[in-house]
Amino acid sequence: MHPRNRQRKNASAMKLVGALVARFRIAAGLTQRQLAEQACAQPETIASIEQGRRTLLPPLARVLDSLLDTKGTLETAVDNMPEVDLIPAWAEQYMDLERSALALSWFENQVLPGLLQTENYARAVFRTDVPALSEEEISQRVAARIDRREVLLRSEPPTASFIFSEAILVDRLGGDDVHSETLRHLLLCSEIPGVTLQVMPLGRQTHAGLSGPFILIETPEHQRIGYTETQRGSQLISSPDEVSILERKYAMLRTQALNSEDTKRLLDRLLGEL
């Protein structure tokens, strides 16, 4: 099914299904890690599903029904969950790929990449949404975004490269306190093994990313996929020719941006100016 036609399931229903998974797993005498191994999934995936933080998708529901001998209970529950568009449906397929990616290359020019956002920065981003979101919707979206940061802290984390515009660091979404917290957080992120941050400085005469932000993903099967978002939709790009274009753009961006050491010095300088 095309990701635009899928909806993020209701948060309360996700918790209910997660609780069922946990109950059936315990009844079967399995740990989360043991169930994950048998289901060919990540232990973090099972844990997040049981906590109601991640949707149980139909293919995994069928596998778990078979392993736990639950006679289709989980698949039936998933198929009949109420739906609500808390997280854009068209982004859900990308997030599935992000969770298991071997490598991520991410360019942004207006907002920090989601995996680098603090809770307060994410809240400031969602507070600027138009039309305005309710406080409950904001809280749910912030929680989901912060949960995604675990991707960088997996036992076998992806190799992750981030390039983002200096304009993002000049903006002060959420106010001065959030701004300084964000700069400190970026410095901490720059120390995570396998993570590289590069800032595209202002005032350049050439720029390989003028067509907009994009993400490159390498899957565990070594497939390379591109991802782009618009205001109300997204596109997963699997054509080798099209992915090659994005890879060449990203390679050029890496030569045009500050290197990682100069990026850290810029972050230090901006913090010192506060």
Rounded mean pLDDT, 182-189: 97
Q: What angle do CA 157, 160, 165 make, to 5 degrees?
A: 150
Do 179 and 58 lie in one domain? The reply is: no
Does residue 162 form part of some domain?
yes
Do 201 and 169 lie in one domain? The reply is: yes
Do 142 and 11 lie in one domain? The reply is: no
What is the end-to-end Cα distance of the chain in Å, rounded?
Answer: 48
Number of domains in the chain: 2
Q: Which of 254, 153, 151 minimizes the C-alpha distance to 198?
A: 254
Does residue 244 form part of some domain?
yes
Does residue 86 form part of some domain?
no
Please tell me the predicted confidence (pLDDT) of residue 53. Answer: 77
Structural domain span for residue 178: 91-272
**Percent of the chain residues past pLDDT 90, beyond the cut:** 68
Does residue 48 form part of some domain?
yes
Do 61 and 107 lie in one domain? The reply is: no
Rounded Cα gap, residues 167 and 78, in angstroms: 42
Do 68 and 112 lie in one domain? The reply is: no
Of 78 and 37, which is predicted with more confidence?
A: 37
Do 169 and 266 lie in one domain? The reply is: yes
DSSP, collapsed to helix, strand or coil, labels residue 122 as helix
Angle, nearest 10°, between helix axes 11-27 and 58-68?
A: 20
Please tell me the predicted confidence (pLDDT) of residue 183. Answer: 97
Do 75 and 95 lie in one domain? The reply is: no
Do 170 and 234 lie in one domain? The reply is: yes
The band of 234, judged by pLDDT with boundaries at 50, 70 and 90, is confident
**80, pLDDT greater than 60:** yes
Does residue 84 form part of some domain?
no
Do 252 and 145 lie in one domain? The reply is: yes
Rounded mean pLDDT, 224-240: 87
Rounded Cα gap, residues 7 and 188, in angstroms: 34
Please tell me the predicted confidence (pLDDT) of residue 19. Answer: 93
Do 48 and 127 lie in one domain? The reply is: no
The first and second tokens of residue 153, run together, are 């802290």
Does residue 85 form part of some domain?
no
**172, pLDDT greater than 80:** yes
DSSP, collapsed to helix, strand or coil, labels residue 6 as coil
Please tell me the predicted confidence (pLDDT) of residue 6. Answer: 39
The first and second tokens of residue 267, run together, are 């972050």
193 φ, ψ (degrees, to nearest 5): -55, 130
Please tell me the predicted confidence (pLDDT) of residue 211. Answer: 94
**Percent of the chain residues past pLDDT 70, beyond the cut:** 92
Please tell me the predicted confidence (pLDDT) of residue 230. Answer: 80
Residue ending a domain, among 79, 101, 128, is: 79
Does residue 248 form part of some domain?
yes
Please tell me the predicted confidence (pLDDT) of residue 82. Answer: 64
**8, pLDDT greater than 50:** no
Q: What's the whole-number average pLDDT of the chain?
A: 89
Do 218 and 264 lie in one domain? The reply is: yes
Of 185 and 1, which is predicted with more confidence?
A: 185
Do 18 and 108 lie in one domain? The reply is: no
Please tell me the predicted confidence (pLDDT) of residue 87. Answer: 54
**pLDDT tens across 113-149, in order?**
999 999 999 999 999 999 998 898 898 889 888 988 9
The band of 96, judged by pLDDT with boundaries at 50, 70 and 90, is confident
**9, pLDDT greater than 60:** no
Residue ending a domain, among 40, 57, 79, is: 79
Rounded Cα gap, residues 84 and 241, in angstroms: 36
Rounded Cα gap, residues 79 and 52, in angstroms: 16
**206, pLDDT greater than 90:** yes
**185, pLDDT greater than 50:** yes
- For 135-188, the DSSP string reads HHHHHHHHHHHHHHGGGGGSSSPPEEEEEEEHHHHHS-TT-HHHHHHHHHHHHH
The band of 81, judged by pLDDT with boundaries at 50, 70 and 90, is confident
The CATH number that applies at residue 194 is: 3.30.870
The CATH number that applies at residue 29 is: 1.10.260.40
Please tell me the predicted confidence (pLDDT) of residue 120. Answer: 97
Please tell me the predicted confidence (pLDDT) of residue 232. Answer: 72
Count CA within 13 A, CB hemisphere, residue 85.
11
Residue ending a domain, among 79, 104, 126, is: 79
Rounded Cα gap, residues 70 and 24, in angstroms: 8
